Structure 1
Amino acid sequence: MLSVRSCLKAASLAALVVFVAGCDSQKDGDNAAAQQQQAPATQVNFVEVQPQTIGLVAELPGRTVAYRKADVRPQVDGIIQERNFTEGATVKAGQQLYQIDQSVYLANVDAAQADLARARATLDQATKTRARYDKLIKTQAVSEQTRDDAIAAEAQAKASVAAARAQVDTARINLQYTTVTAPIPGKIGASSVTEGALVTANQEMALATITQLDPIYVDVTQAGGRLMRIKQGIDSGKIKSAPDGEGVDVRLMIDSTSDQYSHIGKLQFSDVTVNETTGTVRLRAVFDNPDQVLLPGMFVRAFVEQGEVDNAYLVPQRAVMRRPDGSAYVYTISSDDKVEARALTIEQSKGEDWIVTKGLNPGDRIIVDGLQLVGPGKPVKPVAVKGDDSAKPASR
């Protein structure tokens, strides 16, 4: 009997211990939940965005190209007597560069003029003969055949005069060609000949090369697909193009110095074909180059204006994240200070920002710092970032 009572007493004590332990465990869980609910919200920095009209500017690689370039070659044969320029100097159009010996060409002019005088004398005689026969034919003093021969002789004499006059013109032109002049203004390079050298008409080797540097061309390349999207945006009204008759502004950065070029250029044309190898389209701009800072062959970066986008947002690049599939999104702060994920459609970059065309609303608060500490649905303590601070990470 005592044994049964002892067993019942021991069982009651064991149950009491288990019940107390269970209560303690539940109490500890409730305390942990309460502590979690009372945890302070994470402080994050945000920027508030508003829709605006944003200009699209494409940064494109390019290279400078001479506005004009001319190889100077002789157009007559002869010996170089003079060189009348300094290598590397700037020359004007029409300035004398070389003098070829004129002796033979002066003689040719004299000979051609003598032939012209002879032809004119023959014509004068033929004209008088034909006029005399015109009077005699009325009295039948000469035959019709004789008069016809006189008319033909006069016509031949006129043709001889015309041919002799052409020979005089040719001789004079060749004489002028003995003075070799600059066809365009610009800087002239090294001379390939010196005084005493024999040159021939239209020889393969150029005597010198002149390069016009002011103005100067800048050729840049843009992806054909990107250019097509811009044109489609303009056609649909999504992107505003430059007004008709106004050139598109182009700004320039010189790669060697990373300085902005002081003059603004104008886009002149774009190719109508896409390069099959690179898939790009060539654009050409023209720039004033009075100080000749730009030289042909320099690598540059051009900033080409390509229209405007209405109702777009500028979002700091560091606030934008990417999913595994490449789609872009940001964290925004709701009205009750909780984190929301928002998918974006990005047009292109502009400086340290992205131009966003879809996914945002006016007044949205976008988290720019503290992204790694938060997630969708979590409460945050928002702190606004103003002015230049929006472009800098917040200190922690």
Structure 2
Amino acid sequence: MGLPPRTFALAAFAFLAACEDPQQQAPAPPPTVEVVTPLRQAVANIIELPGRVQAIRVAEVRARVNGIIQKRLYEEGTDVEAGQALFQIDPRQMRASLNSAQARLERARATAENAAKDVGRYRGLVEKQAISQQEFDTATARLRAARADVEQAQADVATAQLMLGYTLVQSPIDGVAGRADVTVGALVRSADGTLLTRVEQLHPVYVNFSRSSSDLLDLRAQIAAGELNLTENQRIVVELTLENGQQYPHEGFVDFRAMSIDRSTGTVQARAQIPNPDRALLPGMFVRARITAGERPNALVIPQRAVIMKDRGPSVMVVGEDGRAASRDIEVGSMHAGNWTVLDGLEGGEQVIVDGWQDLRSGTEVEIVMATQ
């Protein structure tokens, strides 16, 4: 007689359960992660700030006399030297004024020479009482007036020569001459100070940047607490990163720091001077400035790959004494040689996961392996 269907099914289930491999029911081993113990060491304090490039010198070339532009004597966008001619303004009117001034000078000199001869003749006559003292005094006064007229005429000639010189417009500095703001045939006026062009000196250049007043207060607090060493009057080195992420090959230094807070922005203005021999930096360009401001003598350092960047900020995974992973929010400072400086959130001696944290959750038990830093 056969078994009932229900009894047969239960017996089959029991047989299959008895045949299962015991190893398949064993729990999976905890994941293995690589950890490091954060080190304390002296590191440079790097501050990263956005900056904008500015020409170190900018000369606005303007008209200093009235006249018509006859020629443009330079090629736009090329290097020019101080004293190089850039524009020629019609000089005919100024040359005529110079000729007139020179004629007045000659007339004044002749008048003065004649007055001097009168005084010489009158001196002998007044001694013989052939003329009155009053006549001699009048002749002497005419001589002084004539000599003053000569000096005035000489000044007029010098002014006319200066104005004639202004008709040949020259570059006041070495640099790159920009686009001409006037064309040949344009009327320029000294009263309006008509802008002709600009000359910019691009080697070296300035990089302007600013830092918030709150950051400045934090910096001073860290110096007072001994967390940061900053030597007064020490040259502060600045390195640049270009807009495309490329490292700029020449480093500069901070040459100006404002001693007041900008009321409109709440920031402190500063400026760096950067060599620019290849003209890679152009005025108006945005850059990223890496400023070496002192040294942190006892900074906590962890590898870059240990830091998890999230929207709320950086964090790391640490392994507690119970052997379980836990997430920890931290505050980082500068990065140097592939390591982050930790300002807050970690203590020395903790085990920080550098590899294997990608699939971990807080509370997961892990096996640790010391990583090579």
Residue 111 of structure 1 aligns to a residue whose secondary structure is helix
Residue 39 of structure 2 aligns to a residue whose secondary structure is coil
Matches within 5 A, 1:373-392: 381-387=367-373
Verify the 8 A CA contact 2:210 2:268 in the aligned structure 1. yes
Aligned length: 343
Q: Is 1:190 paired with 2:175?
A: no
Q: Distance in 1 between matches of 2:238 and 2:121?
A: 77
- Deviating more after overlay: 111-120 vs 40-49: 40-49
Which residue of 335, 338, 343 maps to 1:350?
335
Give the TM-score of the pair, scaled to structure 2. Answer: 0.78
Greater helix share, 1 or 2?
1
Residue 195 of structure 2 aligns to a residue whose secondary structure is coil
1:187 partner letter: V
Q: What is residue 298 of structure 2 aligned with on the other side?
A: 311
Q: Deviations over 1:145-168 (max 9, x none)?
A: 223222322221121111000000
Verify the 8 A CA contact 2:331 2:345 in the aligned structure 1. no
Q: What is residue 242 of structure 2 aligned with on the other side?
A: 254
**Deviation of the 1:176 alpha carbon:** 0.5
Q: Is 1:128 paired with 2:117?
A: yes
2:185 partner letter: G
Q: Is 1:281 paired with 2:264?
A: no
Verify the 8 A CA contact 2:55 2:206 in the aligned structure 1. yes
- CA 1:50 to 1:200, structure 2 compared with 1: closer, same or farther past 3 Å? same
Q: What is residue 100 of structure 2 aligned with on the other side?
A: 111
- CA 1:187 to 1:206, structure 2 compared with 1: closer, same or farther past 3 Å? same
Q: Is 1:64 paired with 2:53?
A: yes
Verify the 8 A CA contact 2:42 2:299 in the aligned structure 1. yes
Q: What is residue 210 of structure 2 aligned with on the other side?
A: 221
- CA 1:363 to 1:135, structure 2 compared with 1: closer, same or farther past 3 Å? farther
Q: Distance in 2 between matches of 1:249 and 1:301?
A: 14
Q: What is residue 150 of structure 1 aligned with on the other side?
A: 139
Verify the 8 A CA contact 2:126 2:132 in the aligned structure 1. yes
Q: Deviations over 1:186-213 (max 9, x none)?
A: 2223223333333222435422222222
Q: Is 1:201 paired with 2:190?
A: yes
**Deviation of the 1:57 alpha carbon:** 0.9
Verify the 8 A CA contact 2:332 2:344 in the aligned structure 1. no
**Deviation of the 1:44 alpha carbon:** 3.6
Q: Distance in 2 between matches of 1:330 and 1:349?
A: 20
Q: Distance in 2 between matches of 1:115 and 1:103?
A: 19
- CA 1:346 to 1:150, structure 2 compared with 1: closer, same or farther past 3 Å? same
Residue 260 of structure 1 aligns to a residue whose secondary structure is coil
Q: Is 1:174 paired with 2:148?
A: no
- Deviating more after overlay: 80-89 vs 38-47: 38-47
Q: What is residue 366 of structure 1 aligned with on the other side?
A: 352
Q: What is residue 86 of structure 1 aligned with on the other side?
A: 75
Q: Distance in 1 between matches of 2:346 and 2:41?
A: 12
Matches within 5 A, 1:287-302: 287-302=274-289
- CA 1:347 to 1:133, structure 2 compared with 1: closer, same or farther past 3 Å? farther
Give the % identical residues: 39
Q: Distance in 1 between matches of 2:30 and 2:66?
A: 92
2:163 partner letter: N
2:147 partner letter: K
RMSD of the alignment, in Å? 3.5
**Deviation of the 1:360 alpha carbon:** 6.4
In the alignment, structure 1 segments of 5+ residues that lack a partner are 1-37, 388-396
**Deviation of the 1:251 alpha carbon:** 0.8
Q: What is residue 270 of structure 1 aligned with on the other side?
A: 257
Q: What is residue 16 of structure 2 aligned with on the other side?
A: none
Residue 149 of structure 1 aligns to a residue whose secondary structure is helix
Give the TM-score of the pair, scaled to structure 1. Answer: 0.74
- CA 1:88 to 1:319, structure 2 compared with 1: closer, same or farther past 3 Å? closer
Which residue of 145, 148, 152 maps to 1:159?
148
Residue 118 of structure 2 aligns to a residue whose secondary structure is helix
